[in-house]
Amino acid sequence: NAGVTQTPKFRVLKTGQSMTLLCAQDMNHEYMYWYRQDPGMGLRLIHYSVGEGTTAKGEVPDGYNVSRLKKQNFLLGLESAAPSQTSVYFCASSRDFIYEQYFGPGTRLTVT
């Protein structure tokens, strides 16, 4: 039981490049989330999903897209990376709203 895993762990992009971050969970959770963490800002919600095939925008969605084609996977895409997207990205999942969220180890992304 691996919990929540994220791929890759580190990535450096040049401005304008694209990439996809993969989040996978093996706990059969319905809810999945993408957050970004910046110094002094805490974690902020980018997008979330309440079930397979559904996605919705969070607090800071601009410049990102997501997909949840399979229940266990939640993909975060950057179509044209910008330096402002340099951050640590965390994925989380939850069985239901009354249960805790489990976090992945994070992906550190640098955009130059």
Residue 27 is a binding residue for other proteins (CB under 8 A): no
> Minimum distance from CB of 102 to other proteins (Å)?
8
Residue 98 is a binding residue for other proteins (CB under 8 A): yes
Separation CA 27–CA 93 (nearest Å): 9
For residues 17 and 86, which CB has a smaller minimum distance to other proteins in the complex?
A: 86
Identify whether the C-beta of residue 69 lies closer than 8 Å to the C-beta of residue 77.
Answer: no
Beta strand pairing status for 102-103 and 107-111? unpaired
Name every residue whose Cβ is closer than 8 Å to that of residue 13 and which is 6 or more positions away in sequence: 19, 78, 81, 109, 110, 111, 112
Identify whether the C-beta of residue 111 lies closer than 8 Å to the C-beta of residue 46.
Answer: no
Residue 86 is a binding residue for other proteins (CB under 8 A): no
Q: Binder to other proteins among 24, 29, 31, 89 (CB under 8 A)?
A: 31
Q: Binder to other proteins among 17, 20, 58, 77 (CB under 8 A)?
A: 58
Question: Three-state DSSP class for 84?
Answer: helix
Q: Binder to other proteins among 49, 85, 87, 93 (CB under 8 A)?
A: 49
Q: Binding residues for other proteins, per CB under 8 A?
A: 31, 33, 35, 40-45, 48-50, 56, 58-59, 90, 92, 94, 97-98, 100-101, 103-106
